[in-house]
Structure 1
């Protein structure tokens, strides 16, 4: 190697090393972030499991504690029932969403269960009833990549506010209740999906492995440079 070429060759591994250091720092940060996300997801899953299996509490007027087990008494407004398209482990069909006028003066929309077809039969109990199930947050903006069409009576998501407006309901809670299984023998209840993807450990290991690969490649580059400079 000529003397003039040596400085340029020496600068190449230094520049690559600086880039590698930045890459390793970024990849390591991403790995640590996924570790934090893993801890958050584990806490979330444990919290939800505790709510689901806890004794039911009186349904509140407002809450964002999804999957809280609640109970409410009142009478169903069957005249304001809405069928919302559903895709479940039982196949496609509809959720039967019926408002419950509670004894406490407000209304809760209840997902009474699943039916496989719009004309399927199910009970319409009159008088006082008690509903127990899981508190679920509203699902605005439609579903199945399609927006709700209240005018045409086509519903693709359980949008509480939209359902209340379409049925002329007042003083409705911002959530709905997924009724537990067995409330109606002709309705399939208890189909709430409680699966929460938790791939954060895999993502963290991936980012850490990439950081290690970059560091290893940089070390090999410097080793080759060192061998090349030996007399």
Structure 2
């Protein structure tokens, strides 16, 4: 029996650690689902007038505003299931109280890339957003063509000469100029905690199986 004590202790300890990591991921899953529900309720709430002071803590806040696009825009490489590849149009926008911000007006197909979109007066309903899309492998923008590969609020604001404030439109009043709004949705927020939990539990099962196999082999050896 003394021969199996150490493998048994290591087996139990390893199983406990791996199983506890799986349980922790299940708790994270519960937390993430509650957060996504809260975000969904916030996105769908009644819009308020664009606040006088804006900061990233207001992410997803539903707002409404009127103003005029500047005619300057950034095209962010995008796509939809229905239309395939295309671009999101991020326009400079001057609100009626004189603030220069940005509006992600929505999607255009590739063929409409060079269609004229001059300054136009609009009423915009949407949500404040600070997307986290730029990773270490994301290419920099092609400024010559005006094409970006991720929405980077500070960089886009510097390019368009606006405040670092982005409103993602869900409804446009006025001439939308062929741009179809793509409302924010929590469906785009990653939630992989369930798959992580399954991986930890599978590792725990493998560890238990290997421990059992090792103990069986030890007990089969002659003393």
Instruction: State the TM-score, normalizing by the size of structure 2.
Output: 0.78
Give a deviation string over 1:46-86, Cα, whole Å, max 9, x none. 111111210012223223343321112222211x2222222
User: How far apart in 1 are the matches of 2:127 and 2:197?
Assistant: 33
State whether structure 2 residue 115 is matched by structure 1 residue 120. yes
Q: CA deviation at 1:209?
A: 4.5
After superposition, residues 34-183 of structure 1 pair within 5 angstroms as 34-60=25-51, 61-78=54-71, 80-89=72-81, 90-117=83-110, 118-120=113-115, 124-126=119-121, 129-139=122-132, 141=134, 145-150=138-143, 153-167=146-160, 169-170=161-162, 172=163, 174-181=164-171, 183=173
Q: CA deviation at 1:142?
A: 7.3
In structure 1, the residue corresponding to 2:139 is in which secondary structure? Answer: coil
Give a deviation string over 1:78-114, Cα, whole Å, max 9, x none. 1x22222222332111222111212334222001121
User: How far apart in 1 are the matches of 2:206 and 2:158?
Assistant: 57
State whether structure 2 residue 194 is matched by structure 1 residue 201. yes
Q: CA RMSD in A?
A: 3.2
Correspondence for 1:31: 22
Structure 1: gaps of 5 or more residues: 1-8
Count the aligned residue pairs: 215
User: How far apart in 2 are the matches of 1:163 and 1:81?
Assistant: 9
Q: Could you say if the C-alpha distance between residues 116 and 75 of structure 1 is closer, same or farther in structure 2, counting changes exceeding 3 Å?
A: same
Deviates more, 1:33-42 or 1:102-111: 102-111
Q: CA deviation at 1:207?
A: 2.3
In structure 2, the residue corresponding to 1:64 is in which secondary structure? Answer: helix
- Which structure has the bigger radius of gyration? 1
Correspondence for 1:214: 207
Would the aligned equivalents of 1:141 and 1:148 in 2 still touch at CA under 8 Å?
no
Would the aligned equivalents of 1:141 and 1:147 in 2 still touch at CA under 8 Å?
no
Q: CA deviation at 1:206?
A: 4.1
Correspondence for 1:5: none
User: How far apart in 1 are the matches of 2:149 and 2:219?
Assistant: 65
User: How far apart in 2 are the matches of 1:222 and 1:41?
Assistant: 40
Q: Could you say if the C-alpha distance between residues 47 and 205 of structure 1 is closer, same or farther in structure 2, counting changes exceeding 3 Å?
A: same
Instruction: State the TM-score, normalizing by the size of structure 1.
Output: 0.75
Q: Aligned to 1:18, which of 9, 20, 26?
A: 9
